[in-house]
């Protein structure tokens, strides 16, 4: 996968790309990345990339010209149009499903804004996607882009080594992930559930599914709204609802 990042602060990304899974992905040629400081593309003699908003108001707005020209410099080398992602608090809430969708792409371009916002023509004339990582505002789009890139790259086949790791993540199955345990079997009086020590993989699979469903029911019941359940799972949910109602 190729990733281009339009940012005024490329130095923010170095620690992220040179650490952990992303570094591994780069070293093994699963990922190529490039920073573009769109200030380098401004036609303003003072290298300004922002200006006052028409109609007045607080803050400054990113001008369209530097960003359009920066994108054009990337696209002239491409035969297939890349996905152009605008990091924006007004965008589509980011989900694991979106990460899985983007992981299938060969080329992603991220636009990281600053100041009060973007000239609307960047949004309507360039972006194929607008993404928000949450209902809050950051000082710029860089941190959000890092989150999206990390979550996408780890889904590229081969990056994690064991591809089932990503398949079983929270949200990938529509549920939160089941609890995990490792050695020792008992720690400070807290014991690993007997079923996990039993060696009976059918019972272990059932326990994990039940725990994932229960954790989702208790913590994120909204995720269950569009799920389909087996007869057994419906019975579990019924019991938990009755127990919750009587408590």
CB 102 within 8 A of CB 108: yes
135 and 235 inside one domain: no
Does the annotation count 64 as an active-site position? no
Residue 215 is among the residues annotated as catalytic for this protein: no
Is residue 197 domain-resident?
A: yes
List the binding residues. 113, 133-138
* CATH number of the domain that residue 83 is part of: 3.40.1280.10
pLDDT tens readout for residues 192-242: 999 999 999 999 999 999 999 999 999 999 999 989 999 999 999 999 999
Q: Phi and psi at residue 5, in whole multiples of 5°? A: -125, 115
CATH of the domain at 219: 1.10.1270.20
Mark whether 154 is an active-site residue: yes
89 and 209 part of one domain: no
Residue 145 has φ and ψ, to the nearest 5°, of -65, -40
Q: Do 203 and 111 have their domain in common?
A: no
The reply to whether 167 falls in a domain is: no
Looking at residue 115, what is its pLDDT? 84
List residues bridging with 84 in a β-sheet: 109
Q: Which residue positions form the known binding site for S-adenosyl-L-methionine? A: 113, 133-138
- What's the domain count of the chain? 2
pTM as predicted: 0.89
Same domain? 48 vs 147: yes
Identify whether residues 19 and 78 lie together within a single domain: yes
Closest CA to 145 of 111, 107, 190: 111
Confirm whether 22 is domain-assigned.
Answer: yes
Does the annotation count 116 as an active-site position?
yes
Question: Looking at 169, 177, 209, 215, which residue is catalytic?
Answer: 169
Same domain? 23 vs 91? yes
> Could you read off the pLDDT tens digit of each residue along the chain, which spans 247 residues?
999 999 999 999 999 999 999 999 999 999 999 999 999 999 999 999 999 999 998 889 999 999 999 999 999 988 889 999 999 999 999 999 999 999 999 999 999 998 889 999 999 999 999 999 999 999 999 999 999 999 999 999 999 987 666 666 767 788 999 999 999 999 999 999 999 999 999 999 999 999 999 999 999 999 999 899 999 999 999 999 999 887 6
Has residue 166 been placed in a domain?
no
- What backbone torsions phi and psi does residue 84 show, to the nearest 5 degrees? -110, 115
Q: How far apart are CA 154 and CA 5, in angstroms?
A: 18
Residues 102, 44, single domain; the answer is yes
- Whether 130 and 193 share a structural domain: no
Q: Per the residue annotation, which of 89, 123, 150, 215 is the catalytic one?
A: 89
Establish whether the linkage from the previous residue to 184 is cis, with ω within 30° of 0.
yes
Residue 172 in any domain: the answer is: no
Q: Which structural domain, as residue segments, surrounds residue 201?
A: 186-246
Whether residue 88 is found in the same domain as residue 191: no
The verdict on residue 238 lying in a domain is yes
CB 154 within 8 A of CB 166: yes
The Cα–Cα gap between 120 and 101 comes to 25
Options 116, 150, 177, 233, the catalytic residue? 116
Residue among 66, 129, 142, 154 flagged as catalytic = 154
| pLDDT value at residue 113 | 92
Are 81 and 196 found together in one domain? no
pLDDT of residue 247: 63
Q: What pLDDT sits at residue 167? A: 65
What pLDDT was estimated at residue 164? Answer: 63
């Amino acid at each position: 996968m190729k990733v281009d990042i339009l940012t005024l602060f490329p130095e923010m990304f170095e620690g992220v790309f040179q650490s952990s899974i992303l570094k591994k992905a780069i070293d093994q040629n699963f990922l190529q990345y490039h920073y573009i400081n769109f200030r380098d593309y401004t036609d303003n003699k003072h290298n300004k990339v922002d200006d006052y908003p028409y109609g007045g108001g607080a803050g400054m707005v990113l001008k369209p010209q530097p960003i359009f020209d920066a994108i054009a410099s990337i696209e002239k080398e491409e035969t297939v149009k890349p996905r152009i992602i605008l990091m924006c608090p007004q965008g589509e809430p980011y989900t694991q499903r979106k990460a899985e969708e983007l992981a299938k792409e060969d080329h992603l371009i991220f636009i990281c804004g600053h100041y009060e916002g973007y000239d609307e023509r960047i949004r309507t004339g360039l972006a194929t996607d607008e993404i928000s990582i949450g209902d809050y505002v950051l000082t710029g789009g860089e941190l959000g882009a890092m989150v999206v890139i990390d979550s996408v790259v780890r889904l590229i086949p081969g990056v994690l080594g064991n591809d089932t790791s990503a398949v079983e993540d929270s949200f990938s199955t529509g549920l939160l992930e089941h609890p995990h345990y490792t050695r020792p079997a008992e720690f400070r009086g807290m014991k690993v559930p007997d079923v996990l020590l039993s060696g009976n993989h059918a019972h272990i699979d059932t326990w994990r599914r039940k725990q994932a469903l229960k954790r989702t029911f208790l913590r994120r019941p909204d995720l269950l709204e569009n799920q389909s359940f087996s007869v057994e799972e419906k019975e579990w949910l019924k019991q938990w609802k009755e127990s919750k109602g009587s408590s």
